Amino acid sequence: MVTRRNADPTTLFDAARAGDRVALPRLLSLVERGGEGARAVAAIAYRSTDQAYTVGITGAPGAGKSTLTDQLIVRARTRGLDGSDRVAVLAIDPSSPFSGGAILGDRVRMQNHALDDKVFIRSMATRGHLGGLAVAVPDAVRVLSAVGIPVVLLETVGVGQQEVSVAAATDTTVVVVNPGWGDAIQANKAGLLEIADLFVINKADRPGARETRRDLDQMLDLTQLGDWRPPIVETVASSGEGVDELWTAIGDHRAHLAGTGALESSRRERLAREFHQILVARVEERIDTLLGDDRAAAVVADLAAGSLDPYEAADRLLGAMLPEA
Ligand SMILES: Nc1nc2c(ncn2[C@@H]2O[C@H](COP(=O)(O)OP(=O)(O)OP(=O)(O)O)[C@@H](O)[C@H]2O)c(=O)[nH]1
Ligand SMILES: [Mg+2]
């Protein structure tokens, strides 16, 4: 099947659902670029009731996230969550938004699946997307869901606040740490402990795994937990050891969420947060427009002259943008 270069989103969706390998990347490019194209794609994607199960894999740089993801692809293919064998991976690297070295590395590491048409792998940048990663990623997941992909693995480097919140915005969040003194403590400092549904001690072939487990257990003991205590799984991603157990643990967490109704409620909360992000981004955009206006110049002049305080100035300007009902 050949999709025209300038095909509209509806045509691209139809083609992607029919298995066209070119249509899906194009839809995701539209999402990344933002603007009208992204809106047109969202208008279709969000009408679909299909929702992929999302698994976030996060941790410090070099923890083995890509190697682990590569292994999880194999499990998703052979032991899919609902007997399905399709899977997508979104690799998000905030430090290299324009396809830098790390992303290239991920591609190479997942090369084993390059010819498998049931596996879709994509690095994501946000370029012009209004609302940034926090909105672009859920949009991309919706697109993947709408074309019938049942499982999406999301690799994110857990560094900044935004990356951590993207990683957390998944059904199951896997936090990867390594053996060795202080790794679990670093993860805690980075805010990763709070978001973990599951811990992986990867590189368990190296010394110190037992100490890391003890650190994690101690920290969990000090944390207010709900009705789910994050299990700790040891893996050697480079050999595949422990990955079956990890996949089982992911399935257990999913069953727990589904059984308690938390899956539905947390998805609703995430959608509300996404909506909030979009509103904030939109209002910010309007503020920028407003500040370029003559009226804004007058308000700023009054502010500088001392005849207005900043709060009055804000009232004045917002009154022009959001007239009170
Ligand atoms: N010894 C050992 N090495 C591993 C294991 N898993 C991964 N590695 C190696 O660790 C290095 C980093 O692995 P990646 O999978 O790229 O780690 P990452 O977390 O994706 O890295 P970034 O995406 O750059 O943050 C590679 O050289 C892997 O081969 C493991 O279980 N044991
Ligand atoms: Mg990686």
Q: What is the pLDDT of residues 22-70, one digit of tens each?
A: 999 999 999 988 889 999 999 999 999 999 999 999 998 899 999 999 9
> With a 6 A CB cut-off, is 246 part of the ligand 1 pocket?
no
Q: How many helices (H) and strands (E) does the chain have?
A: 14, 7
Inter-residue contact 190 to 92 (CB < 8 Å): no
CA-wise closest residue to 27 among 157, 149, 115, 153: 149
Ligand 1: nearest atom to the Cα of 59: 19
Q: Which ligand does the CA of 101 lie closest to?
A: 1
> With a 6 A CB cut-off, is 100 part of the ligand 1 pocket?
no
State the sign of the Cα–Cα–Cα–Cα dihedral 78, 81, 83, 86: negative
pLDDT band at 166 (very low <50, low <70, confident <90, very high): confident
Q: Read off the pLDDT of each residue in 86-101 and give the average, rounded to a whole number.
A: 68
pLDDT band at 322 (very low <50, low <70, confident <90, very high): low
Q: Tell me the pTM.
A: 0.89
Which are the contacts of 2, defined by CB distance < 8 A and separation ≥ 6?
A: none
* Cα distances (angstroms) measured from residue 205 to each of 6, 236, 259, 287: 50, 6, 35, 54
Best residue among 57, 66, 92, 201 to mutate for probing ligand 1, ranked by most atoms within 8 Å of CB: 66
- Any idea what DSSP says for residue 190? T
